[in-house]
């Protein structure tokens, strides 16, 4: 009996040990994203991701898939996906060729420096945010055709048709999408002189299907007539009629003259990694390189993820980099941007020289005289890698959630409110609290400054990471943190995307942080150093891809903060 009891006890202990080992293994097991061998697409919406993956499976390259995803997002993700906005592409071909395309919106020819000021010179509230006057000349459609000309392989018709089918057949709403539409209903009704297709009497609920027949017709014109199907003819006339109905200023001349611009990527190094970023009018590439070069000399790996020291140093770097952003960055076609100086070792060594490990630097003391010189949360990003190793990082936007809230009557798409990304009045914050200067003042035909940061990293001459996010002014710091999470803190791509984030942007002088980003001890320690901490909601919704050591791909989509989805094959 004693022997039997002994065996029972030993068996029970063995079982408990096995269970505990399994639990421990599960806790310690890294959280990976989607793993695939041949190709990967990560975007803000599952239907758009599927469209991109289907294109890859049909033999299209990463750039074909990017075009298809862009048009699909205009249908399934109208709060940020668009044909009425603009954006940036950073690309790397399998042979190592790199570059970028600027299809950012432009200020209409009738715009002028003081167009959002009253007679006393004060900024008129919401004039650059809501309604027809907030819209810049859209660049997305032109951008997709320029990408196709230079980098595409499949017929353009094949890349637009999936979006047409989605618009015709309807899109099933997720809970988040239904909530967004309901939240914006009042603005849709007040701002438009007609009833947009996004509005109905009863609230939208999860599982509802929304149809876009007018948008389908617009996409058919683009498919059949090329970019002239948007910038000329019927669609252009609809845009101009909409402008006239709402006192907007975009003209047929603005539309017919719009052209995207190929630009040299901003390139630099972080330790053994080569960083390929977007140049101005994006501030992302320059700011990210400044931050990475600044953090390189600090041992944040041993300090730990979101520790007091790590957060303090990252914040001190960010306040100086965002001050530079406000002073030196703008459209390079209108303003001489000192890119080489801003990312040079000599400049950054001097710029960061007064950082203390123990004390916060007040933002008001940060000056911008070392050179002798005195953005929505509803952006969206997608990352794509194909079987040959071509990589596309695209961040695209209509700025605020659903842009200006203006839907072009008869055409079924929303216009952006990107004019708010200019400095309506130098020194006055925009909707994201970003302060701008003379470099970003409004001028006809000028592109507004952006925080969008589509980024590609190489390691030892090979593709390593494709990354980007929405988030307005938090885009730069979110990409910064995600890269460090992988390289310094040993996270998988998915863990880096999911990790709680924080943000500082010079002005206002506070650290915004997500729930659970810091523990109470870290908060107290940072406050004792002089930092002001402000809890907020979500920061960023990353879509990223990492090339693993065996050459396979890990796709990471932020399905904790959004409906983002990664798919591979």
Question: Any long-range contacts for 518-527 (C-beta under 8 Å, 24+ apart)?
Answer: 518/306, 518/311, 522/306, 522/307, 522/308, 522/311, 525/308, 526/308, 526/311, 526/312
DSSP 457-475: EEETTEEEEEE----GGGH
Count CB-CB contacts under 10 A for residue 195.
12
| DSSP helix/strand/coil, 35 | strand
Long-range (24+ apart) CB contacts under 8 A made by 341-349 are 341/371, 342/286, 342/290, 343/266, 343/268, 343/286, 343/289, 343/290, 343/293, 345/293, 347/371, 348/290, 348/293, 348/294
- In 3D space, the residue among 532, 531, 529, 526 whose CA is nearest the CA of residue 358 turns out to be 529
What's the CA gap between 564 and 45, in Å, rounded?
Answer: 5
d(CA 123, CA 168): 42
Peptide bond into 281 cis (omega under 30): yes
CA atoms of 79 and 368, how far apart (whole Å):
36
Count CA atoms within 13 Å of residue 209 on its CB side. 7
Angstrom distances, CA of residue 384 to CA of 87, 102, 115, 460: 16, 18, 39, 20
Instruction: Using DSSP, state whether 448 is helix, strand or coil.
Output: coil
How far CA 17 is from CA of 4, 9, 14, 20, 21, in Å, comes to 20, 12, 5, 5, 6
Question: Is 565 part of the annotated catalytic residue set?
Answer: no
How far is it, in rounded angstroms, from Cα 75 to Cα 45? 10
User: Is the peptide bond preceding residue 508 cis, with omega within 30 degrees of 0?
Assistant: yes
Catalytic residue, candidates 49, 218, 327, 379: 379
Q: What is the CA radius of gyration of the chain?
A: 24
Query: Alpha-carbon distance 100 to 98, whole Å?
Result: 7
Q: Tell how many helices (H) and how many strands (E) occur in the chain.
A: 19, 19
**Could you please report the per-residue DSSP string of 536-558?**
-S-----EEEEE-TTS-EEEEE-
Residue positions annotated with a catalytic role = 379
């Amino acid at each position: 009996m004693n022997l039997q009891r002994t065996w029972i006890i030993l068996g029970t202990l063995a079982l408990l040990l096995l269970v505990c080992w399994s639990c421990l293994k599960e806790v310690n097991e890294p959280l990976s994203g989607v793993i695939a061998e041949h190709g990967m697409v990560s975007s803000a919406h599952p239907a758009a991701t599927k469209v991109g993956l289907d294109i890859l499976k049909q033999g299209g390259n990463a750039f074909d898939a990017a075009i298809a995803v862009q048009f699909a997002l205009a249908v399934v993700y109208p709060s940020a996906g668009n044909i009425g906005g603009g954006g940036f592409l950073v690309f790397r071909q399998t042979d190592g060729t790199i570059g970028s395309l600027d299809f950012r919106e432009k200020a209409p020819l009738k715009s002028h420096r003081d167009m959002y000021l009253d007679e006393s010179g004060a900024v008129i509230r919401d004039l650059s945010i809501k309604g027809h006057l907030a819209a810049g000349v859209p660049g997305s459609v032109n951008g997709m055709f320029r990408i196709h000309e230079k980098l595409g392989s499949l017929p353009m018709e094949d890349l637009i048709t999936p979006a047409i089918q989605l618009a015709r057949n309807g899109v099933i709403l997720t809970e988040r999408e239904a909530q967004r539409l309901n939240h914006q209903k009042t603005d849709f009704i007040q701002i438009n002189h007609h009833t947009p297709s996004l509005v109905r009497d009863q609230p939208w609920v999860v599982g509802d299907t929304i149809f876009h027949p007018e948008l389908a017709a617009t996409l058919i014109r683009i498919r059949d007539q090329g970019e002239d199907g948007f910038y000329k003819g019927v669609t252009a006339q609809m845009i101009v009629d909409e402008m006239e109905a709402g006192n907007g200023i975009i003209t047929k001349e603005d539309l017919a003259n719009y052209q995207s611009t190929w630009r040299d990527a901003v390139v630099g190094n972080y330790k053994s990694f080569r960083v390929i970023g977007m140049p101005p009018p994006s501030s992302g590439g320059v700011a990210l390189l400044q931050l990475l070069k600044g953090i390189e000399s600090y041992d944040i790996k041993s300090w730990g993820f979101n520790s007091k020291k790590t957060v303090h140093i990252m914040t001190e770097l960010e306040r100086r980099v965002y001050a530079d952003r406000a002073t030196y960055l703008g459209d390079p076609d209108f303003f001489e941007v000192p890119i080489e100086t801003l990312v040079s070792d000599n400049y950054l060594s001097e710029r960061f020289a007064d950082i203390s490990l123990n004390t916060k630097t007040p933002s008001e003391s940060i000056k911008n005289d070392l050179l002798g010189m005195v953005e929505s949360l509803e952006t969206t990003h997608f990352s794509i890698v194909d079987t040959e190793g071509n990589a596309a990082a695209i961040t695209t936007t209509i700025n605020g959630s659903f842009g200006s809230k203006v839907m072009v009557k008869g055409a079924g798409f929303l216009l952006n409110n990107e004019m708010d990304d200019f400095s309506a009045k130098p020194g006055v914050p925009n909707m994201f609290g970003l302060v701008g200067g003379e470099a970003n003042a409004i001028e006809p035909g000028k592109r507004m400054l952006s925080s969008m940061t589509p980024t590609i990293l190489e390691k030892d001459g090979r593709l390593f990471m494709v990354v980007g996010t929405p988030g307005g002014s938090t885009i730069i710091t979110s990409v910064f943190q995600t890269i460090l999470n992988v390289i310094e803190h040993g996270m998988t791509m998915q863990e880096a995307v999911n990790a709680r984030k924080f943000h500082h942007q010079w002005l206002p002088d506070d650290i915004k942080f997500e729930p659970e980003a810091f523990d109470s001890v870290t908060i107290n320690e940072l406050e004792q150093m002089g930092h002001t901490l402000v809890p907020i909601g979500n920061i960023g919704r990353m879509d990223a891809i990492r090339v693993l050591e065996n050459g396979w791909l890990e796709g990471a989509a932020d399905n904790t903060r959004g409906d983002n989805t990664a798919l591979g094959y």
